[in-house]
Structure 1
Amino acid sequence: MLTISEFGRRAGLSHKALRLYDVSGLLAPAAVDPISGYRRYDEEQLERARRISVLRQVEMPLATISEVLAGTDEEALIRLDRWWAAQQATNEARQATVEYLRDRLLRAGSPGLSPRPVLQRDVPETKLASIRVDVDQQSLMGVIVASTLEIRAHLTAAGASLPGGSWVIYHGAVTPESEATVEICVPFGGTVDPAGPIGIRIEPAHTAAYCTISRDECVYPRIMLAYDLVEDWVRTSGRPTTGPIREIYHPGFRERTGSDPAVDIAQPIEGLS
């Protein structure tokens, strides 16, 4: 058994951190003296403590650390990879936003989005798996990536077929200052049961007005110009909307770059009778 000082020294954690991890349930001491309140730790707890220390160095939240360390090492690796992919996506989105702003400052008066048509198409009934989550603009891309990976892993484990692509339905306005509910959706074929946050449902057949944007044009706030384009078309056409607007990610979205077509901004509308 090790004192809190010895354990903290060997694990690379302060007394304050160890007390926090005890209160949060992340790393409880092996024993606590009922009279003095002194904490004692077992040497076997050092590996878990060191993993927590490393994960905190990369700014992983305590709740996420608890999820990562909850199962086997194989499960921990999967959760770690998903979290890191989400962090990378968030950082890429921030970098793209800064680059967009720099471009606008350097080329004042230039159009933020080149002209393009708004088209219509009929979308068939689709079986999909989805996760709903409340999110703000800052964490949006990370949540989309992490949720998509989680859904695809669940579908693959269940033996479902994946035609490719995914979409995000916006059930409210996501801004840098406020959260709203988004639904990350992945279409599939086969029979799959819901699990945890993953629900299974049928997306009804519908007509959609949409425009396509490139990988570079996906950055916020540039992407909002495509939303304006679609919304203006719908308003001018007089066609009632029949569902919330969505971003439809083309298959292989993560590998697309520059001017490659990558996303459709789509608004379900009432079809022509």
Structure 2
Amino acid sequence: MLTISEFGRRAGLSLKALRLYDVSGLLAPAEVDPANGYRRYDEEQLERARRISVLRQLDMPLATITEVLAGSDEAAMIRLDRWWAAEEATTAARRATFQYLRDRLARSGTPGLTPRPVHTRDVPATKIASIRADTDQQQLIGVIVTCTDEILTYLRAAGASATVGSWVIYHGAVTPEAEATVEVCVPFDGLVDPSGRIGIRVEPAHREAYCTITMDECVYPRIMLAYDLVYDHTRAHGLPEAGPPREVYLPDCHLLPRDQPAVDIALPVLALPVHALPVHEGTF
């Protein structure tokens, strides 16, 4: 058995951190002396402690560390890879946002989004697997990446096959200051039951107005200009909204060249009146 000081030295953790991990349930001591409250740790706990130390150096939240270390090493590796992919996506998005703002400052007066048409299309009823999560703007990309990977992994394990594309439905306004609920949706073929936070449902058939943007244009706040185009179009043509807005992603859009069409900004609307613009039919 090791004292808390010796255990902390060998694990690379401070006494303050060890006390925090004890309170949070992440790393409880092997025994606590009832007389004086001294904590003692087993040498076999060193590996877990060192893993916690490494994960904290990566700035992984305690709640995520708990998930990573909860199961087998194989499960931990999957969860670690999923978290790291989300972190890299978030970093890339922040870098792109910085570059967008810098370009806007350098080219004051230029449009932030080149003009483009807004089309309409009919979307058939679609069976989807989805996860709802609350997030703010800073964590949004990571949430999308993590949830999409979780759904795809589950579908593969269940013997189902994801079909073309995926989308995210915004059930509230996601901002840098406030969280809202988003729903990450993956269409699929096959028979799959709900599991944990993954729900199975049918997205109703609907008509939607949309415009297409590139991955470069998908950066916040630039992406909001695309939403403005769609909302301005629906108002100008008297099209009542019929559901929350969504971003529809082409398959492997993150692998496409940054200046190529990759994402549709879409808004469900009621059926177009006869005098409206021609309908561009399409599916995902």
Q: TM-score, normalised by structure 2?
A: 0.95
- The one-letter amino acid of 1:133's match is A
1:162 deviates by: 1.1
Residue 17 of structure 1 is matched in structure 2 by 17
State the distance in 1 between where 2:145 and 2:164 align: 14
Q: Indicate yes or no: 2:56 matched with 1:56.
A: yes
1:204 deviates by: 0.5
Q: Indicate yes or no: 2:276 matched with 1:258.
A: no
Q: Indicate yes or no: 2:120 matched with 1:148.
A: no
1:166 deviates by: 0.9
Residue 282 of structure 2 is matched in structure 1 by none
Residue 108 of structure 2 is matched in structure 1 by 108
Q: TM-score, normalised by structure 1?
A: 0.98
Q: Indicate yes or no: 2:40 matched with 1:40.
A: yes
Residue 174 of structure 1 is matched in structure 2 by 174
Q: 1:216–1:257: 8 Å Cα contact kept in structure 2?
A: no
Residue 4 of structure 2 is matched in structure 1 by 4
- The one-letter amino acid of 2:126's match is T
> Over aligned residues, Cα RMSD in angstroms?
0.9
1:161 deviates by: 1.1
Return structure 1 stretches of 4+ with deviation > 4 angstroms.
none
State the distance in 1 between where 2:69 and 2:147 align: 19
Q: Indicate yes or no: 2:123 matched with 1:123.
A: yes
1:35 deviates by: 0.4
State the distance in 2 between where 1:95 and 1:164 align: 28
- The one-letter amino acid of 1:56's match is R
Unaligned runs of 5+ in 2: 274-284
Residue 70 of structure 2 is matched in structure 1 by 70
State the distance in 1 between where 2:158 and 2:46 align: 36
- The one-letter amino acid of 1:67's match is E
Deviations 1:58-107, CA, capped at 9 Å, x for gaps: 11011100000000000000000111111111111110000000110111
Residue 242 of structure 1 is matched in structure 2 by 242
- The one-letter amino acid of 1:160's match is A
State the distance in 2 between where 1:223 and 1:86 align: 19
1:272 deviates by: 3.5
Q: Secondary structure of the equivalent of 1:138?
A: helix
Deviations 1:175-215, CA, capped at 9 Å, x for gaps: 11111111111110111111111111000111111000011
Question: 68-77 or 126-135: which moved more?
Answer: 126-135
- The one-letter amino acid of 2:167's match is W
Q: Secondary structure of the equivalent of 1:139?
A: helix
1:167 deviates by: 0.5
The correspondence of residues 90-109 of structure 1 with structure 2, limited to 5 A, is 90-109=90-109
1:257 deviates by: 2.5
Unaligned runs of 5+ in 1: none
Residue 217 of structure 1 is matched in structure 2 by 217
State the distance in 2 between where 1:209 and 1:10 align: 60
State the distance in 1 between where 2:205 and 2:237 align: 21
- Fraction of identical pairs, as percent: 73
1:271 deviates by: 1.6
